[in-house]
Homo-oligomer: A and B are copies of this chain.
């Protein structure tokens, strides 16, 4: 990861998050609350956009569908990537134009395809023959891009094989799309969530370029390259400044694809994660026995009420307390539900003040993505995450 070193120290996260932390310290929250700074979202949008050049940023709505985020992005010319009918509705309600919304879920309900088509959504993702048949039936003549499976091992959270198809099948799907009256216009892929080093894109782009050029050679007029997400957020490990990161990715794309008429990028986490802070509370600190190495710290927020991305300890959040100047020690961190699986970090314990106790405030940084909408409707009777926009 040689590139990372070059960018060390450029991360913009720490200072900017202090506005959120000041707000959190100045208020009392009765239950766990996500505080969102929409100006921070806009700043990040411009930072990414400056690096990506003329690529269109399609915000991955699933990361955080808060109306205030969608409205701001629509107002400054952002485009959107929607996963369902409901997300399309949210984008339209926020002022987005239908032609700026792509329907990027490769697994769509037929009724949702028909809805999208009816309101004017023009671009659909697919990675299977049956999906193309559904699109041809419910959105005749639509543009489709084919999602490819890639070997990507450089992400903090590599993806499963759920989405995408292999290279040989991709060319067959383009032919099938054309036969069905659809317009096979391009390709998409995903480099993997939280890919911190932009150089990790290179081998993935190599794989995509092969199919791209094979498709063009076979007579498909490909003009749309969707480079997906993977743009990182700052969770404590160094990442490049967003503009530098995006510029490096754009450069890697240009080297392999030349002057592609349309490029789409789909940041979610990389656009909104750092714009959110969760204000939570310590409910209990205990040791299970006298010789326990670690304390157990129980919070009023857990895996089922917002912190779902702690699954397999994948995303490691940063915690801030009012005692961080005191002596620290390792803790196992857990949520408030009566569910034994509601443990956030145990394999790699978290360092927290030794004086931490029930009632203490605890702030969790970079929680703007994949928190509020992941929360359960009320598991254990705990309500979903509150959201406050500042």
Contacts and interface: CB of A to CB of B under 8 A. Distances in A.
A223 interface: no
Contacts of A105: 336-338, 380
A86 B382 contact: yes
A55 interface: no
A286 B380 contact: no
B288 A166 contact: yes
A304 B372 CA distance: 13
A349 to B, nearest CB: 13
A162 interface: yes
A134 B357 CA distance: 12
Contacts of A62: 337-339, 379-381
A160 B343 contact: yes
Contact of A162 (B60, B190, B334): B334
Chain A interface mostly helix, strand, loop or mixed?
Answer: loop
B288 A109 contact: no
A101 to B, nearest CB: 12
Contact of A86 (B149, B159, B193, B381): B381
Given A377-B377, A381-B62, A357 B130 contact: yes
A174 B283 CA distance: 21
A290 B169 contact: yes
A101 B304 CA distance: 24
Interface string A115-130: 0000000000001111
Contacts of A106: 284
A300 to B, nearest CB: 6
Interface in A283-302: 283-290, 296, 298, 300
A342 interface: yes
A383 B144 CA distance: 26
A383 B83 CA distance: 12
Interface in A73-110: 82-90, 104-110
A55 B137 CA distance: 59
Interface size on A, as a range, is 35 or more
A289 B381 contact: no
A168 interface: yes
Contacts of A65: 378, 381
Given A165-B289, A286-B130, A378 B86 contact: yes
A284 B149 CA distance: 17
A108 B340 contact: no
A319 B127 CA distance: 25
Interface string A121-160: 0000001111100100000000000000100000000011
A193 to B, nearest CB: 7
B375 A376 contact: yes
10 contacts: A61-B381, A65-B381, A88-B381, A110-B358, A127-B286, A161-B288, A190-B340, A311-B311, A372-B377, A376-B376
Shortest 4 CB-CB contacts between residues of A and residues of B = A86-B381, A128-B286, A84-B381, A166-B289
Interface of A: 30, 60-62, 65, 82-90, 104-111, 127-131, 134, 149, 159-166, 168-169, 190, 193, 283-290, 296, 298, 300, 304, 308, 311, 334, 336-343, 346, 357-359, 372-384
Given A62-B381, A128-B284, A373-B377, 18 more contacts: A84-B336, A87-B380, A87-B381, A107-B298, A107-B336, A109-B336, A128-B286, A130-B357, A159-B340, A162-B334, A166-B289, A168-B290, A169-B288, A373-B379, A374-B376, A375-B377, A376-B376, A376-B377
